[in-house]
Structure 1
């Protein structure tokens, strides 16, 4: 018997593939995982992307705690309790000798903290409930195994969040289970604050004293009260008053005003935010324009650490520090001194900032946000709610582009030309005339975006917070750190404004996200600044009770790893197959370009290559591609039951894998293939299935009916342009010398034996 097929339309093993597709769906879904990485995917290397980041500095060394018996506050036959300080925050540590038995394995911890009478708790709370349950850390100390639990002494109803041990009257703690009562009870345990030296710590910060006339301060107070009544602060040059600053033995004349847009900069009774312009060419710690503000407006220590991380990568960052701030007001009759306490000291935007970051003198530009704040002020004045969706006046699309130090820039021809160039580039970017990779220094921008993600600084990439330097040497724009509000847990990857549809930018950011999310990078960053970080953490937490939580960096690092190396990258469904090619319907499930690199067997053997040199699926793109099958394909399916090695549909589809990887990320992956196209029309499935189920031999003139159960094809040449279906009840005999020419994808389906 000779079988022919139309060369333009091979008779595919397809069995149109839809026949068994619907039936196979439930089996495939239950038996396959959609994408494979790591050991299960045959990936032999160990990738940092598959390993969670753990910051060693964020972990308490429990063996070191147990080595300090003076920190033990309680001990009985079941448990030892220790009071310890870590990253400036107090912890109560429970150490049980192993093995844990009975209810010690399952009971929750209760921890009720009663404060001294002088302390008023929020929400009229009678005590602080810190009940908890967590898995223990198993350690060995002096040859003895312990299960260790710890509880951070922090509560939202306490005035400063993190507790001062000196404010605690006593604690009740132990173990309990709902409905069964307490299995262990420690009552009225008093804690000695000297054990963690909270009451002995001396603030190490420099002092900054502002002196001004009482009348000038009254002008500032009036402006502050008006802003609080209105809901936001609108400033202009007439707000400046004169004063002087004393710092490190020097007295500097200054002009000053309130700063901030929202009133979070002004709500505290003492800690208002100020902008200073140092006069007569002098500087404060090398800065001419500088602000002081409540540390919480930049999320305490996070902005300091964020700027350290940026400048280490040669990105323009602001000098950021902390001071003990005091205000002195003078009049003809007296001097009034008011201790403000710890404040953040932040550099502002001028020539000195650029020089300090080792750049050639150039302009700093930004989107003017005056339309936005003017409209919000109008909404407040008219008792209207703040818009959830910005109006035209609150959009970056129409915001003017401003330049810092405008008078100096416009009076200098060289700087004015730089401003015109930078303005044109930024305006062209927002209009879509340029791609972001064309106008920005891509290395610095991608590093900025990746680090901002690591720190959770989405606030700094809102359009009205971005600040940009024009580098006259490279003729490129560079991002400047500003108001990131870092230290927030990521919920999605943050992108720079106007960066859409630029694959060059996307690839560069992806590469930096992989680099900066690595465990080694994060831990090296913390280790580099650990000494200063611990000192400042004590300085801030001593007064403000708010230490830095480095586990935010752990979370964000691991979130980035999941985002750029997701569990599933593509879905694949078999579309068709013949002796030479296999066609697969693919969908990119990720946000990044995915390269399709080949076809393989589950045992690792390569079975085919794409018909094109390179196949890349864009973000969320769907595409059907063909693989050229190599000479090993058929033999790849030899088994005890299949000694000839031919490919059996649909069973052998489970052994096929699509090789792929996210571009830039050097992490090979393999995805299984469903034995059917995943998004085929159900109506097509049904009609095709019915066609294949329905016998149609009566429609073919060359089929001879010898008896009720016997059919025959006599010697000769015949053409089939539709599929011939022989039912189970009929036996088909094909005589010698028969030639069948299949056209239009036709095939022969016999549900009984064929005699030839």
Structure 2
């Protein structure tokens, strides 16, 4: 094993010569038992069987070989090179796991991590690596083994710190990127990992071009414009076949990166909801539209059918993102394995034959979304727009692969035209009558399924007549250990419940239960648990709250009927003028309108609030505003939430005053905003949010916004979080923000926003913070008496025109990287004025990022960003 790291690939590498020679030899061997090495070289070199008979295959081989020289000459060689340096002892860990895989026919489930050093150009990263994948195609070659790479110290490469290096044949070469491009061209917002072609050199050996594939995790979600959440998948726990040959599978939902998820209380609670939703869907207790994002599921299934991508529908290839705002699951493109072969691509809609997707399409709402998406795709195919985009992507992508896969062929999109034309027909007449369905000869389908619920879903902490009780049921096939139980106090401290722990730790065998009586005064507990051979995990529970306590869903029958001042018609509530008390959490039906008349004052009790699924219209005026506030006997109330729906999302807020609200802490669904708008087209004219007791005073997610005269005052933490929004904010003010825990006035993530004629005064952290690839313009605005005026971070682009910054304690302008997955930021300030010191004296720009003042670039420096966030920018946001 060579250990040199500076080896350079020749114009035509040894691998390419091997591939050409192997191809020539293959002509003689293709129709008889082949040498495994030649087969592997051919497959890794891009050869794919497009025909079903020997003579056509021979002609294909000759044609592919004839095209090899031209492909090698046209190959794009200016692509990134990654070098892995693995010491011999560490390398043997990978060798050992590969040998085990070759002997047993599968890569072992438990794999060894090896320490490695990764070089991208001259940049060095410490990393750990292991084998990736399950089947032998990942490790069948002499090199180009599939490797999982995890970069340490929160550094990132290609917008991710966790990725796989995979031989492109394992992922059908350009196929996944073409599938992804189909959804982009169609305007389908589906999460899809990117596959970047990179040259890979391992210990001096040239492994050729491989694909760098983003892992399913937080990095993928962040770069896909998603709020922090997690990815869910299924595991097989049992399989049975009855006498009729019907296959039943027992499936268990689990989250990827469980350690990260369990390390954050909010994510841990969201995990309970997600696992419950999927388990209920598998068991038939919830409809698909109640569990999944209906629009995105329909779009994904339609794209799968256009490509004949049946492989994406198998139980083990489904991946879902749990959206913490909607409490629904979105599909993620995973292992679509699309084929260019006509006999494989052309297929009756596979979604109609695979059990999970068939159950989804049985839901009328999903079926409607599917039909709309399919119609849109057909239109794009017939117009040529989609195929033109795919041809362009294929040209670029193939050239990056040719140097290592010169036998690589192209996808013929005439097949896509035929597939689209036949979908929806009766398949009774040629050429559609020749198309097969997804049968057992292709994949062993399951006929029925059930869910095995994790033990956490079968654990409860509930009130009893004599106090309260913790009940735990071990539903797994291994011993569970329950360790000490502690009381969680309101101040965050823990108290060991000594009398209860005398018999702990306690071992729970499979399919057994235990119940522990607790004092009635205990409201929240934490305990450690561990399965044999695994590290202990801490779980926290709040009395009488479970994953099913509250999930944000429309309610056909509402408590609004108890309030005579709420007039109801077939699709709306109208709240009459006057002062009214509300003692319930009111939730509307779906696609609803709520109209609130001028001069209405709604006083809510502690756990009362309003949730709208549709559109909110407050018809306040300057003289008769609409007021939402707490009742005199309450400390706060449970806030306003508005979910825009596909057909009703145009909310209009005029002269609304919201005070003393908190986010609705209902069960395990706990959003951040006291006023909370999701997926809407929102126009605001004179909205005031004051004296909130939540993480964000105003939180708007994935919406178009037109805001005039917004006033946020006395915010506990952040003033206004605008995530994945587009629009403008005018004539607004943010006063006394973050007075308890520190907070930003305006905080954007993944947004494109223009802010004009606005005032920021008394901001404890950053007056304006643009992050996660935001594009923000700030014009004719003032920041005063604040810690930091404007910060651009994480690939954001900020432009300031005519700004005034007075009495800024730390920095007027900042440009830096906080999250390495995004990269450097830019900030351009023009015609700004700072007092009492010049603007240049209070700037900070990290090397790699850019900051200019009136066209002059400010000198960048090495910045310890982590130290900044532990010091002058430290935040202690409320739980």
Shorter-chain TM-score range = 0.3 to 0.5
- Higher helix fraction (1 or 2): 1
TM-score scaled by length of structure 2: 0.40
TM-score scaled by length of structure 1: 0.46
- Higher strand fraction (1 or 2): 2
The structure with more radius of gyration: 1
Q: Which has the higher contact order (CA 8 A, sep 6+)?
A: 1
